[in-house]
Amino acid sequence: MTLQFSNETKATFDWLVSRYPEKKAALLPTLWLAQKEFGGWLSPEALSYCARLLDLPPSKAYSVASFYTMYNLQPVGRYKLEVCRTLSCAMAGAFDIIEHLEQKLGIPCGETTPDGKFTLATQECLASCGTGPVMQINGEYYEENLSAARVDEILARLP
Amino acid sequence: MATFTLDGKTVSAPDGMNLIEAAAANGVDIPHYCYHPGLSVAGNCRMCLCEVEGARGPQIACSQVVRDGLVVKTDTALVEKMRKGVQEFLLLNHPIDCPICDQAGECRLQDYYMSYGQYDNRSDVTKVQKQKALDIGPLVVLDQERCILCTRCVRFTSEVSQSHELIVSGRGDTSVIETFPGMQLDNPYSGNVVDICPVGALTSKDFRFKMRVWFMKSVKSVCTGCARGCNIFLDEKDAVVYRYRPRTNLAVNRYWICDDGRLSYRRINDNRLTSARLRGAAVSFRDVYDHLVGLLRAERAHGSVVLVASPHSSLEDNFLLRRLDRRHGRSMLRAWDASAPATADNLLRCADPTPNRAGLSLLDVEPSRASLLAALAGPVQVAVLMQNNLAQDPEIAERLRQLPVVVYLGSHDDETAALAQVVIPVATHAEKFGSFVNVDGRVQRFYQAFEAPGDAISESTLLASLLHDLYQESRVDDVEEVWALMRQEVPELATLSWYGLGDEGVLLESTRVASSAMPNVASGV
Amino acid sequence: MIMSNELILSRNWSRAYSWTMASALEAGTYKTAADALRSGRPPGELLDEVKRSGLRGRGGAGFPTGMKWGFLPKDNPKPRYLVINADESEPGTFKDRAILEKDPHMLLEGCILASYAIGAHACYIYVRGEFWHQQRILMQAIADAYRQGFLGDRCFGTDFKLDITVHSGAGAYICGEETALLTSLEGERGYPRLKPPFPATHGLFQCPTVVNNVETIANVPYIIGRGANAFAAFGKYEVNAEGRPVIDSRGTRLMCASGHVNRPGVSEIPLGIRLIDYINDYCDGVKDGKKLKAVIPGGSSCPILTAQEAEQVEMTYESMARFGTMFGSGGLVVLDEDTNMVWALHNLLRFYSHESCGQCTPCREGTDWLYKILGRMLVGKGTESDLAEILDIADNMEGKTICALAAAATMPTRSYIQKFREEFVAHFTKGGVPTDSRGRYRVPATVRQ
């Protein structure tokens, strides 16, 4: 099975590449496109594909992707829940949220529920210090007055 | 040249040279892990921090270039503390498993602990766990826990071999050296990462756990894997060669050798001829020598001899063979090599698989298969073949079989030894002093590492004895005496001596040598 | 009490749909840029104006912006780049986020003016990957600006060409360091670079480059439009008898308040006010009427201030320096009397350990070592000699690395231990306090085990 961008994504990719004087500068954006297009994570095949598009060795794509926390190098659940645990959020009760989620989902941070619905993770400062604690669901911020009860409500609404 | 101050002394070094090299040139060692002269500067290990007057804080010597007026201090309390600190950080998560580590004895962590570490252990934290004994390629094993992340190996595969197999993945203290999932460190130069790894993270599958390095003796030698003549250290113990390591020669191989050459040491150990044979029966060296003298003496009176020089033999050996040919008068000197061409590339590897083809050219001996076959087809009584498995070539083998006598001066028990009536075991380049002329016309010396096995003798010694016994030439006992003769007969060598070749060899200015080079890619090193 | 500060940067925030082009046009955004470009004002004039304004970098280091622009080589034929650092990730800081969300056009106008001033025809805005929502707003703003003819081959109908591209990070604090940001922008691991060479000569794609923070650049339209003096009228500027500035903190700053305050959030303050006044007047004081214990004045990397120091310090670069700390990125975190300082430091050290790029030995190993020692202390297994050890490890890290991340970890570490030493000792004498008096400050499971 060979991975390939859809025509629309390929057009976005071509536009991205045109924004930089050097092709390889488009690596991070290309990895973003691939993660979105190929199931929320970057498999070795996806990394190779990105590298090929940019005339880079696949090892470069892997090395770069592994540096950044937002690229998933393993499959993740349908919803990736990430709770900031840095000082301001922690002072505002982030660990209550984290423990609540661990108990509710029955998994420790860093793991995915057996049904593949949720992946739970902690995050470092998300620049929501004034509105913490903050939880991200697939990148979307949920902040201000986040509490265990609010988290339950939010999760209940997820399809 | 820049004049600068190093630890209070006024010294000089070429302008723009980096401080590690400039200090070394002035007798001051600045410890370092990540810096390697053949790679780009990474500046990550921080071991070479020193004090530079006027700079904002300590500076790393590897990225500091010298210029006039620079004032550097490497002997202060601060520098001592910084080195100790880096050493402590590096060992914090290191398994400290020296007894079971193959790098022991040539590990910078060990060396620098002794020189710059020596702190009281104050770490009680759990060490970060990473993967061990990872099979990452045909030649190399990786231990991520021993790795200090200096990235020399990563830079090697990206800058030198340009094969990009090794990368850093992850970040912070969970960073590791890795290959792309499912891919291997597999390029013609992969073994070099073992040499440049300053610690026990990358070790050689071939050498692992065979021998402690401190029991071995290292001898300066030249690789015989191809015509490049890469400079090497030959590491041996008790007349067994355990490995080749590249020896820096900026004019030839820089800091590297290829994997084929690296493993070609095995030839010295394997399948050697150790005793003389006469028509298949083992005989004493005395007997076979007397037989050979008798043969050549008889052939001097009647019949004809073909002497076959070899690009595998040293310049000295071939020179003495030519001398024998010239004294003999009724012989023919030919040369050929029957081995298959090697794979060439634009880094080091040459298509010519022999170390001394240019040396033959220097002696006006041009290898030619047709000429050899023609000579063998004539009224030949005796063929003397030197260090060359010519019987690999079926047509040559057939001609040889038809000759009354084939004399083989060979180091290995090969097809030619099986065919020859007279077999005299000879030394490899590990067992004698001598020189080769490489593809660029650079004459390079090699040292004897140990005695030849059994009755084996160097071709030069044998040929010199023949010249003495047959033609009353004065005895030639060592390589410099052969050079004394060569100086008289080979104009390009008129001002040279074996010892005077130095560690880098001498590039000969000779059209004969230049034209001899087999068509090959330019030395792009 | 001042509820709203519509000074320079936040003056459009209260507008309806303030992030839209329609709102921006109504507010007069882009007028300054249009005038400057259409009238062909010499770029050098703009540079001089910024220099005279005394604008200092708002990202953390506080380097004079005009001077930074002036470092670009005059005779380098390579293209020049303007790079905007929107990788806001210093714990406690969320001001650039506010600009991106509420007034991206002010930033874009700043980009146009700055690019014009330095002769850049390409500008990249490096936004942290987590800000995908903010990236959308910004990209919409850029698209609108192109549509209006403010960007592109003929900005405002002039010969000046400028392309602005949003480049998304992907989760790495270190990419806020300017050379790491450039490396990341080039498609590499976000490793800080050896300096020299500096970005001014060898920046993005090895070309002359200026890297400025979002807030810094957002000030530029005001400075160019109303003049350096109008800008400098905000803040504090004092010279000594020789005419040398002793206080050079001109303009305003976006301050971010979080932690134990009644009203956390971003507010724009004129530089020079007292820190305690900021907490009381802008943040409604310490939460729940508790007593103040300590203040992180400018993001977690800044040495912490005790309550007593916080009473005295003024919000100027100089006053902060006098108290041994920094203005940093304006991320102010208030810690009340119940805060366990061992816990707080442990929390931050995990952050630095997690965010160390791993390049330099002292930082890669040291940040994690400190974090682990603090973890042990937190559960009560510590001794006084550990404190000396921590300070010594910190000394072996700080200033020994390529970038300042090691120092960002060690500066707070040292200040916490030096200023709250008794508390550290009491903590492990008592056998550790896993939670604070509110019972809320949980210790991560990994440490509890």
Q: Which domain holds residue B255?
A: 125-269
Strands lying side by side in the sheet with B231-237 = B217-222, B231-237, B240-246
In a domain, B106, yes or no: no
Instruction: Supply the DSSP string of B398-441, one letter for each residue.
Output: HHHHTSSEEEEEESB--HHHHH-SEEEEB--GGGS-EEEE-TTS
Structural domain count of chain B: 3
pLDDT tens profile A135-149? 999 999 999 889 999
Residue to substitute from B51, B168, B173, interface C, most C β-carbons within 10 A: B173
CB count, 10 Å around CB of A146? 24
Tokens 């079926």 found at: B394
User: Which residues neighbour B110 within 8 Å (Cβ) at sequence distance 6 or greater?
Assistant: B98, B104
Interface touch B164/A44, C-beta < 8 Å: no
Closest by alpha carbon to B440, among B210, B231, B266, B271? B231
Task: Say which of A88, A93, A99 has its CB closest to residue C258.
Answer: A88
- pLDDT for B93 equals 95
Collapse the DSSP code of B359 into the 3-class scheme (helix H, G, I; strand E, B; otherwise coil) and give the result: helix
Distance of CA C150 to the CA centre of its chain: 28
Task: Say which of B81, B89, B172 has its CB closest to residue C353.
Answer: B172
Comparing A144-148, B444-448, C156-160, which segment has the lowest mean pLDDT?
Answer: A144-148
- pLDDT for B299 equals 80
CATH number of B141's domain: 3.30.70.20
CATH second-level architecture of C21-232?
3-Layer(aba) Sandwich (3.40)
The phi, psi pair for B507, rounded to 5°, reads: -80, 120
CATH number of B390's domain: 3.40.50.740
Residue C314 β-bridge partners:
C274
What the block records as the tokens of C318 is 């100089």
Kindly state whether residues B292 and B212 are assigned to the same domain. no
Which residues does chain C have within 8 Å of residue B92's beta carbon, measured at their own beta carbons? 365, 369
B514 confidence band (pLDDT: 50, 70, 90) = low
Q: How far apart are CA C98 and CA C428, in angstroms?
A: 41
Residue to substitute from B151, B156, B169, interface A, most A β-carbons within 10 A: B169
Nearest CA in chain C to B151: C359
Comparing A150-154, C68-72, C433-437, which segment has the lowest mean pLDDT?
Answer: C433-437
Residue A122 CA: distances (Å) to CA of A95, A103, A108, A110, B481:
10, 15, 10, 8, 77
What the block records as the tokens of C161 is 């060409």
Across C278-295, average pLDDT: 95
In a domain, B84, yes or no: no
Kindly state whether residues B188 and B211 are assigned to the same domain. yes
In a domain, B520, yes or no: no
Kindly state whether residues B358 and B494 are assigned to the same domain. yes
Residue to substitute from A54, A56, A66, A67, interface B, most B β-carbons within 10 A: A66
CATH number of B51's domain: 3.10.20.740
Q: Of B75, B110, B139, which marks where a domain is finished?
A: B75
Chain A 11-30, residues with CB within 8 Å of chain B CB atoms: none
Task: Say which of C189, C358, C361 has its CB closest to residue B89.
Answer: C361
Nearest CA in chain B to C388: B122
pLDDT tens profile B373-415? 999 998 888 999 999 999 999 999 999 999 999 999 999 999 9
> Hey, is the C-beta of B57 within 8 angstroms of any chain C C-beta?
yes
Kindly state whether residues B32 and B151 are assigned to the same domain. no
Task: Say which of A44, A48, A62 has its CB closest to residue B167.
Answer: A62
Sign of CA dihedral A102, A107, A111, A116: negative
Does the pLDDT of residue C439 top 50, yes or no? no
pLDDT tens profile B128-147? 999 999 999 999 999 999 99
CA dihedral B232, B236, B242, B246 (to 10 degrees): -10
Instruction: Supply the DSSP string of B90-105, one letter for each residue.
Output: HHHS----GGG-TTTT
In a domain, B109, yes or no: no
Sign of CA dihedral B314, B318, B319, B320: positive
In a domain, B146, yes or no: yes
Domain positions in chain C are 21-232, 253-336, 341-448
Fold of C253-336: Ubiquitin-like (UB roll) (3.10.20)
Comparing B73-87, B475-489, C423-437, which segment has the lowest mean pLDDT?
Answer: C423-437
Which chains lie within 8 Å of chain C at 3 or more CB pairs, if any?
A: A, B
Contact A58, A47 (CB under 8 A): yes
CB count, 10 Å around CB of B207? 19
Q: How far apart are CA A152 and CA A104, in angstroms?
A: 9
What the block records as the tokens of C253 is 């700053």
Closest by alpha carbon to C8, among C223, C273, C278, C211? C223
Interface touch A59/B182, C-beta < 8 Å: no
Contact B143, B203 (CB under 8 A): yes
Interface touch A25/C264, C-beta < 8 Å: no
What the block records as the tokens of C271 is 């530089």
Quote the percentage of chain C above a pLDDT of 70: 95
Interface touch C168/A86, C-beta < 8 Å: no
Which residues does chain A have within 8 Å of residue C371's beta carbon, measured at their own beta carbons? none
Closest by alpha carbon to A146, among A84, A103, A104? A84
Pairing of strands B422-425, B405-410: parallel
Interface touch A139/C168, C-beta < 8 Å: no
ipTM, 2 dp: 0.96
Instruction: Supply the DSSP string of C167-235, one letter for each residue.
Output: EE--S-GGGGSHHHHHHHHTTS--PPPPSSSPHHHH-GGGS-EEEEEHHHHHTHHHHHHH-HHHHHTSE
Kindly state whether residues B205 and B343 are assigned to the same domain. no
Interface touch A59/B168, C-beta < 8 Å: no
∠ CA C334-C337-C338, rounded to 5°: 105
pLDDT tens profile A37-64? 999 999 999 999 999 999 999 999 999 9
Which chains lie within 8 Å of chain A at 3 or more CB pairs, if any?
A: B, C
Interface touch A27/C187, C-beta < 8 Å: yes
C378 confidence band (pLDDT: 50, 70, 90) = confident
In a domain, B91, yes or no: no
Interface touch C259/A88, C-beta < 8 Å: yes
Q: How far apart are CA C347 and CA C366, in angstroms?
A: 15
Tokens 């490497």 found at: B74
Kindly state whether residues B340 and B454 are assigned to the same domain. yes
Kindly state whether residues B174 and B243 are assigned to the same domain. yes
Distance of CA B24 to the CA centre of its chain: 24
* Region class of C216: left (phi > 0), else alpha (psi between -120 and 50), else beta: alpha
Does the pLDDT of residue B48 top 70, yes or no? yes
Which residues does chain B have within 8 Å of residue A48's beta carbon, measured at their own beta carbons? 180
- pLDDT for C446 equals 47
Kindly state whether residues B250 and B223 are assigned to the same domain. yes
Tokens 């303007």 found at: C82
Q: How far apart are CA A13 and CA C49, in angstroms?
A: 40
Fold of C341-448: de novo design (two linked rop proteins) (1.20.1440)
Q: How far apart are CA A152 and CA A135, in angstroms?
A: 12
Instruction: Supply the DSSP string of B156-201, one letter for each residue.
Output: IIIIIS----EEEES-GGG-EEEE-TT----STTTTHHHHH-SSTT
In a domain, B502, yes or no: yes
Interface touch A66/B169, C-beta < 8 Å: yes
Closest by alpha carbon to B387, among B428, B357, B418, B435? B428
In a domain, B151, yes or no: yes
Which residues does chain A have within 8 Å of residue C440's beta carbon, measured at their own beta carbons? 93, 95-96
